[in-house]
Amino acid sequence: MVLATNNRGKVEELAAMLQPLGFQVVPIGEYPGFVEVEEDGDTFMANAVKKARAAAEFTGQMSLADDSGLEVDALKGAPGVYSARFAGEPTDDAANNRKLLKLLEGVPPEKRTARFKCVIAIAEPGGRIHTAEGSCEGRILQELKGKGGFGYDPLFYISQYKQTFAEIDMNQKNAISHRGRALSKAVEVLKHLSLS
């Protein structure tokens, strides 16, 4: 299975979930000459499908893409599909977190509700496409906490764990995250495919 992402955090999490299930995973970065697609879709779904299709066409292998992001209620759903480039391009996690904190200055804890969303798209080389969605509710803290994870993890507080995504270990995160949830559903689809 080709992982159609250049985000190392995503590769680590997806590999940790897929390898124990018997999938051999190869990041798209190991295929020289692959040109990243422009993520110009208005939805996570459109971007995930575009990335998975491009990788399957280029490699001739089953390819999995993840398009994901953070929706903050006090910002009317922003940064959403623009999460990676919230503070500009190329992606700078620290700058994105600073921008988020700045925009939420003065917003009290109870109004800092947010969710991560993820769409996983799996493209077969023949053109068939399968998709699954997952989300995870949390709250945006007033300061960074924890050193693990990536992206907005140090600001994303999970009440179930009373910790941020950057303070818990990857397996705990995968068990409840938007990505873990979307991937579990996608794997069910794959199991049916291999049986049929």
Determine which one of 40, 42, 66, 67 is catalytic.
67
Q: Which of 2, 10, 54, 168 binds ligand ITT (CB under 6 A)?
A: 10
Environment class of residue 89 by beta-carbon count within 10 Å: exposed (0-12), middle (13-18) or buried (19+)?
exposed
Give the span between the Cα atoms of 181 and 164, in whole angstroms.
Answer: 18
Touching ligand ITT, residues 98-117 (CB under 6 A): 116
Q: Which of 7, 61, 135, 163 binds ligand ITT (CB under 6 A)?
A: 7
73 belongs to the catalytic site = no
Asked if 138 is part of the footprint of ligand ITT (rule: CB under 6 A), the reply reads no
The response to whether 146 counts as a known ligand-binding position is no
Asked if 83 is part of the footprint of ligand ITT (rule: CB under 6 A), the reply reads yes
CB of 63 or CB of 96, closer to ligand ITT: 96
Q: Which of 17, 50, 54, 67 binds ligand ITT (CB under 6 A)?
A: 67
As measured in angstroms, the least distance from the Cβ of 125 to ligand ITT is 20
Residues that bind ligand ITT (CB under 6 A): 5-7, 10, 39, 66-70, 83-84, 91, 96, 116, 149-153, 165, 177, 179
- Name the residues annotated as catalytic: 67
